[in-house]
Structure 1
Amino acid sequence: MIQLFKTKVGRLRFIGFLEGISLLALIFVAMPMKYYFKNPSLSKTLGPIHGAIFLLFLFNTLSVAIEYEWKFKTTTWKVILACFVPFGTFYIDNKILKKL
């Protein structure tokens, strides 16, 4: 686990994991609580946390893309698109980031 923090790709993988977990928690836990149980407290708390992790993921993706000279049309857009899809960051981690 400590080895992930030594490289930019490792940090991106870790942030991607956090982003994926926060997105799943927001979609499958906080939003049902807000709309079905009329309790918006978790979404008010988790929403900004997810937003901050989302932005951190985007900035780190661009940083890694510049360092590794990724072409936007081939790799960068796939990694950015992954953070919009539930389970997307886990898929990208397995298919692209793990190999770096």
Structure 2
Amino acid sequence: MSLEKQLRIFKWVSILEGISFLLLLFIAMPLKYIFEMPQMVQQVGMAHGVLFIAYVLGGLLLIKPMNWSLTQIGIILGCSVLPFGPFYVEKKYL
């Protein structure tokens, strides 16, 4: 697979992972704990989990082709657990 295609896929995964995390934090969790509607957490949580794993794996696969330093790798992987973090990575490193 070409680097361009890998980057395009990782950008999409990054955006979708960021959106799923925000949906989980700001919509699904309040629905669960304030309105006692846990169904959304189950669905969005599963999607977010899959996207999180895809984000981490995609980041690891791009280390060598993108020639990222250890610091950059730490930032990129660390941003996966921060709200809005994947959007920062998408704009700054991709």
TM-score by length of 1: 0.85
- Matched with 2:47 is 49
CA distance in structure 1 between the aligned counterparts of 2:12 and 2:87, rounded to whole angstroms: 10
- Matched with 2:33 is 35
Q: Where in structure 1 are there 5+ consecutive unaligned residues?
A: 1-5
CA distance in structure 2 between the aligned counterparts of 1:47 and 1:66, rounded to whole angstroms: 30
Q: Matched residue pairs, number?
A: 92
CA distance in structure 1 between the aligned counterparts of 2:56 and 2:20, rounded to whole angstroms: 15
Q: Where in structure 2 are there 5+ consecutive unaligned residues?
A: none
The letter for the 2-side match of 1:75 is: Q
- Matched with 1:80 is 77
Q: Percent identity?
A: 32
Aligned-pair RMSD on alpha carbons?
1.4
3-state SS, counterpart of residue 7 of structure 1: helix
CA distance in structure 1 between the aligned counterparts of 2:60 and 2:83, rounded to whole angstroms: 20
